[in-house]
Amino acid sequence: MPTFLPATHPRFRSVTSVLGTATALAACLTPITLLAQDQPSPQKTGSQEQGPQTNAAPIPLVPGEPTWDSFHGQLNAQKYSPLEQINADNVGDLEKVWEVHTGDVSDGHGDLPPTVWSATPVFANDTLYIGTPFYRILALDPGTGEEKWSFDTQSTLEALTQPALKNRGVAYWEAAEPDAGEACQKIVYLGTMDAQLFAVDADSGEPCASFADNGVLDVNQWNNTNAEWPLSLLQPPTVVGDHLILGWAGKDWAFEQAPPGNVFSINARTGEREWTFEVLPEEVREQSGTANIWTHMSADEELGLVYLPVSSPSPNYWGGNRTESAPLATSTTALDIETGEVVWSRQWVHHDIWDYDINSAPTLMDITVDGEEIPALIQATKMGFLFVVNRETGEDVWPIEERPVPGGDGSVEGEVYAPTQPFPTKPAPLLDQSEKPKIWALADAVSFGQCSALWEDLWYEGMYTPPTTQGEGALTYPDSSGGVQWGGVAFDPENQIAVVNTSHIVQYVKLYSREDYDKADSGSGNESGFSPQEGAPYGMRLEVARNWLGMPCWEPPFGELVALDMTTGDVKWRRPVGVTQQYGFFMPESWGSPTIGGPAITAGGIIFIGASMDAKVRAYSLETGEELWSDQAQAPSVSIPAVYEYEGRQYVAFIAGGNSILKDQVGDQVAVYALPK
């Protein structure tokens, strides 16, 4: 059965009345048989500390004017632009009109760790704002790329919680009623790996003295449980009215204990903390940790709700330290923006031991299903599922069923497995997890049966097969880097078409007793390799299923772009996306590419996306999926492109920074395209 939290907030009652259905309210409040280990407690998990009042007026779900002033373009995470100067007929004429190389790049062979740069350019205040992996802010002329100003946080360039210097960009805020002549009525924010949040004036680049400690907020001051590592601010804050909603990243794969995934609301003007939302129950916080929000969030200001994509608790692949109820972990959770109290929550993985973090902001959309207009939310997941619910109440749009899943094989002590997991009935899974992935005959043949031998040694009883100590371990598909990554779902509100890029990757995970781990560890890993899960009784090893040549052992395509008709939940079209590149060679287009990053959609009927291994940026037809244009970038563009209009001309901006999960190639390029004048 679905995992609901009961509605406790007055706003919930009001939005339910908007539905005009007493049945809906009754259904939501009806006691539901929940899994014992996942049953939510009706506690108020937000703690209000002080409450500076907001004066910003709510904005409509779909703004009337084209905006691209946040990580997803808009707070609804639709990544949609109503601009149509560039369309399917002329997109082939696109040309690069300017580019900038920031110089903030490292391949890891020198004194600095490698860089991972996934920033979405933010267009606001007639300026393009960009955060770099060296924790600098650049303010650029959007028509020429000329630098207006830059700000250097002088932050330490050490990989404190991550194996690389990472950055996903900046956030922008401006006062609804600015004080004339005063500085910092428009502010740009940038976080650092050591949890310092910087606020600078958007016009001048000067620090905002009125914000926290002369423009710097030490978020790590609130890291007081299992505080071995700082709360890294790699994702920009989500700006909702006058609130900065802060999540953070940590190091959940390395330790049993970790800081619990608390979320903070900060006053945008002053840096004062307004409320703290505690994801994990008190009885779990000391022996576990995380269940944090390390990616962006979305919000509906009219409803007064912010939507959190919540990750899994620590350690990633063993849960014997957290068998108590943790109903908000690996969930989508809706909070009251003003108080931080839970309005509703849906848990998408019970007792997560696969690192299936909810890793992208849910996309908010108004859709018409069977003649009924529904305020909906679609949550993409690492599992390749798309869960669609009513964003006011958390109720199903299409049925979401609890289905039995495999238990353990008895080799792992202390573990208590969830007997069922949620499965959506619509839309269909983005990839077929219903059976063991087929071995790719070509990879098997050239490796003289290495793939077949590996498949024989991997335990697999279907989706959610638990980690094991036996053989080569358990096969996991999709892998922990995700069916869908942080780019999430884009949405065309006019035609009610959703677009998402997905990766098809097989991994296998094995747990080792502490004694066996110490013998086996041949070097610590991050997204793959050995990881100690220090403090837990088991270390682990995670590998991509490849042969000795590096070829995937499973059949292509390795990545696809999928368009969905959201009035029916059916697939409109799907196609391989990008091209896999290995050892300098480009593979056939029909094989596609794993992807990191996300798409942007325009009213011109175009999908813009980078994200692929071949480091190309592309335009596809929204109607048919046909590739219409491409250009070569310096490195894979693992961010979301920005679409904006400046002085009557439409632009699309890509950041080509690379990500080691995808390919060992880094860049420092900002590439901006427009039609010829």
Residue 369 is encoded by which pair of tokens? 């299903």
* Across 76-88, average pLDDT: 98
Residue with tokens 């994801």: 279
Cα separation values, 289 from 312, 535, 667, Å: 9, 12, 33
Q: How confident is the model at residue 253 (pLDDT cuts 50, 70, 90)?
A: confident
Q: What was the pLDDT predicted at 48?
A: 61
For residue 220, give the DSSP letter: G
What's the whole-number mean pLDDT along residues 458-470? 96
Tell me what pLDDT residue 521 has: 74
Q: Is the pLDDT confidence value at 28 over 60?
A: no
374 has a pLDDT exceeding 80 = yes
Whether cis (ω within 30° of 0) applies to the bond prior to 404 is no
For the beta carbon of residue 298, count every other beta carbon within 10 angstroms. Answer: 29
Q: Tell me the mean pLDDT in the region 352-380.
A: 97
How many of the other CB atoms lie within 10 Å of CB of 284?
20
Both tokens of 198, joined, read 């910087």
Helix, strand or coil, per DSSP, at residue 237: coil
How far, in Å, CA of 640 to CA of 485, rounded?
11
Task: State phi, psi for 29 to the nearest 5 degrees.
Answer: -95, -10
pLDDT tens digits, 189-222: 999 999 999 999 999 999 999 999 999 999 999 9
Res 37: pLDDT: 31
Residue with token string 């009001």: 14
- pLDDT beyond 70 at 497: yes
Q: Inform me whether the pLDDT recorded for 614 exceeds 70.
A: yes
Provide the β-strand partners of residue 22.
none
Distance of alpha carbon 243 from alpha carbon 199, whole angstroms: 13
Rounded Cα gap, residues 187 and 174, in angstroms: 6
The mean pLDDT of 422-437, rounded to a whole number, is: 95
What's the mean per-residue pLDDT of the chain? Answer: 90
Using a pLDDT cut of 70, give the percent of the chain over it.
91
Q: What is the pLDDT of residues 500-525, one digit of tens each?
A: 999 999 999 999 999 999 888 766 65
Token pair 């922008």 is at which residue? 172
In DSSP notation, 427-455 reads SPPSS--SSPPPB-HHHHHHTTTHHHHHH
pLDDT score recorded for residue 523: 66
pLDDT tens for 265-279 read 999 999 999 999 999
For 110-135, write each residue's pLDDT tens digit: 999 999 999 999 999 999 999 999 99
Q: How confident is the model at residue 571 (pLDDT cuts 50, 70, 90)?
A: very high
3-state secondary structure labels for all residues of 281-323: CHHHHCCCCECCCCCCCEEECCCCEEEEECCCECCCCCCCCCC
Residue 216 phi, psi (nearest 5): -130, 125
| Cα(338)–Cα(54) distance, integer angstroms | 9
Name the pairing type of β-strands 115-117 and 616-621: unpaired
Binned at pLDDT 50, 70 and 90, residue 660 comes out as confident
Query: If you write DSSP's letter for every residue of 314-363 in order, what string do you get?
Result: SSTT--TT--S--TTTTEEEEEETTT--EEEEEESSSS--S-----SPPE
Residue % of the chain over a pLDDT of 90: 83
3-class DSSP string for 130-169? EECCCCEEEEECCCCCCEEEEEECCCCCCCCCCCCEEECC
Q: Which of 306-315, 429-438, 513-522 comes out lowest in average pLDDT?
A: 513-522
State both tokens at 440.
Answer: 């790719």
